[in-house]
Structure 1
């Protein structure tokens, strides 16, 4: 799985990583895999799905990786170890940050403007004792310092008057969770920046822009605004008592963005060494599949076991054991993967033996340890599948029991092949015959016998084993 790691150090560009994680793992497994590359503790990571310049979803550590699709853009952010989005007991709070640009209205006589999201969103850790607009502005300015240029002293002198004149068009910010409940006084709020230097932003009951004193202050490059989770509408107020997550938007004036925001640098990223090479899918041995098939399995929380005694679903373990072995063994390889969100064809190469597939270690009560042929199998046929889930094509490899020659069957075409050609990624169903049965059949078909061999009797023990 490919992810982007965003460090708390603003000087570092985002890093692209290619991670190996369990197919049915958790988000915590993804963080632990990334920790091996970055040295950052998984406790200091937050995982998010970014789509169209906004957070489509922020994951919890116990969520399943199966909810992530191959086309999703997954960002893993480094946050303070004291941070949390939901826990009020933590010293730091993580605030999602969006970037927006003001777009002027078509009617130049109108004061209306639109807002358009751009760039990559951020997850920023903010100490609870610094949850004020002015403090948040400087924290964000530091986080953006790699691609945002601070104005020079001449720019500040030029910008003071302009900021005052444009103050009425700046949206009034709402409250940041964790701030105090006191309204700011005239010393704390002003239209020149769109932010307040007090512990809380102005609420609906605070004086409007016409009552704010127009005073000269340092030029701000952008304004801050509380928004909804989509970043599309402003929220003039945020109630601490609710469980809603506060989102903050950094609003840029087009001229200020063009002058101080470096879009090329902002979109830049580096590739970790793990991305420099293609991870090859290692082949899987059939013996390993059988071992997993007979290994104790802990059922997932989403798939509990129904207890007939207490009449409730319970967490449980499951184990399959082999008591007897059939004369003809049919092994069905899992070639199709289904989840709630995706379906895919599996093309992993499974290495299977043509002779001496030994099941002696998997049978609980061996019948006769002195007769190894009772537990060993030889391959007699392979069914192959080509194509996908909707349609496909089947072919077959089969061994002539008399000559031992292998043939390839493809519709009405039959051709001889060597044993080296049998193993492929298309192998779907394997057919094995127990060695004692093969020996018995060869004995019956030896030359000199007067009577033709009788057809083998139906063996109720014969069965198929689905190695899924």
Structure 2
């Protein structure tokens, strides 16, 4: 094995995890800094400073800091944005060189599904209870999903000094009051994951014989609950799954099919595309529990595991969305319940065989589809659309009738821009925050240019835009006008405090600030999509052009620390402009004096025996750093050759307090905290104006002829080449249950891409006849809303709920995991809606 440490580090960072491998969760920004420091990744900096301590405090749930249990990660922490994993072997090497803030967060690699291995991030929170008595002592613990039941029994025996006994058994309760206890299966080979314990479930170990003071604990088992009003336990981050299940549970025809067990005679164990009936059986079991009236909370763990085997994308402990889960579940149920044991092979025909009548061609293609697809899912949820693609060069067209299960309405003329919050630091001038819109797919040089352009007097835009829609309706024109208003840029030259300052791109240094320190110098080619929501971007105006060669000046970074034993960084770092050659300490001191007053509240009348601040030079060379008081080297020549030097200013507590007070008064003008709290609203795909559109506007857009994007060129059969084309979609056959996905959110590691609009949707009598091309279907085009899935929160703290109308009491209810509440019908539709479930009105006999 090579003795080169870099090769060892790269090997450890790229190795695939194996079951029971140990990993440590670390701050991703710290790790990226370290990679540049040791040379694993290239850096634009001449010399990279040595990273500070490995900080675990920022990542952990502070309530578990002093716990004897496993340290928990912050619930809002995002992998790839806030943290990442490194092998424990690498961490041991790092711990010898770098200090640590707080205890390390250790996790293991565990098996997931049939052939996956994942690093377990979030442990299961449980509450060990001394007994089933309501006032019994309780201890909060956190355990791995792979913890064996025997280990859990030992935990509770040790915690509450209970002697193991053959007459004692483990019980669990999901009731917040510690009622409604159930026996836990104690087979030795079972794990917590196998028994599907809900988060924060109560666990106790007692005799099966109930004592008098515990009898009340089981009295709730006699309570009768309302069928269908049954919550679902959150098994980690599974609100996406629970919300989708509540939507489908309130589709009365589907639920009746499972409650009467008709589905059992349709289970297809021979379909290679199915799961031998496991998904159907798991769903049927869950529906029976939810509609039994015997419980108000059920655990969907068996169903989750069954769907996870069908598609691993639904398994795990990371953030998902209900659109995917609903599609996977319906597809899995369809294949498990498909009437056909073997699918017929139908050769797809790319042309219409000269058939001019839409009705004939549609029936032919629908019958071909049904030769391999017949199930209750098909009968309820499947419909058919007609699509016509036409080459814009030769005008030849292709007509296809395709089956659909869910209808995903596209974002209206999606705006490909983001809003970035920029802190602009002028030379000896004010520090001000600006919101700048720039292309999602641009680079840092584009953002800098867009920023500078905003200080130029605004002229009318004469650029022609490529039409995105052909034959646009008047109402849809209103939507386009709205989008034009959204991307309308503010003219900074009209601001009341504008002083005719005009920044120039070559004189702006773009920097990312993290923990009050300069974390990254952006290059012109830096991709804007790699900037995450919590990154603080600062533009520094500099005195000399960045493009000037043989510059005789250099920019020295300066950071502030509190002058106490912790030396905590605070405030906004800045740069001083000093000579590159023959630079003395006095030159640095002179430039610092000119600038520091812009960043600290230094009063000329301030008097104290102790200096207001003390300045040191931190000189890094060959990965080692040394501090040198600036006052001790005012007459010394500072050699920058092969070294990275920064100024560290330790500020007296009186000034720090004054700074923080001023910061609060000015609403945190420069603070990271303020930045973090406002960044969710600062970086958006488009401004969140109080605008609304109707569902009919979306259908108008969906059914209009559109020019395909350059990335979606059509292979024209006559031109025999990829060509620009138009596409027209119409509804042909309508499903009995219409699932509409309003916002198909695009998640990347970096940001969430959606448009936040209020969609005005009819609760009753949604009439889609104007969008149905098939005359025979127009009479079936009226629908009533029965369920709405809502997405609330943001990327770092996202949650799903469901509003659904019960077929029993005809009332609307809100399902929020295990909690259920009533909701007024006027509050059912709001900006959070992301899935609508409509049920076809019954036709008069």
From the two aligned structures, give the one with the greater helix fraction: 2
Larger radius of gyration: 1
TM-score by length of 2: 0.29
TM-score by length of 1: 0.47
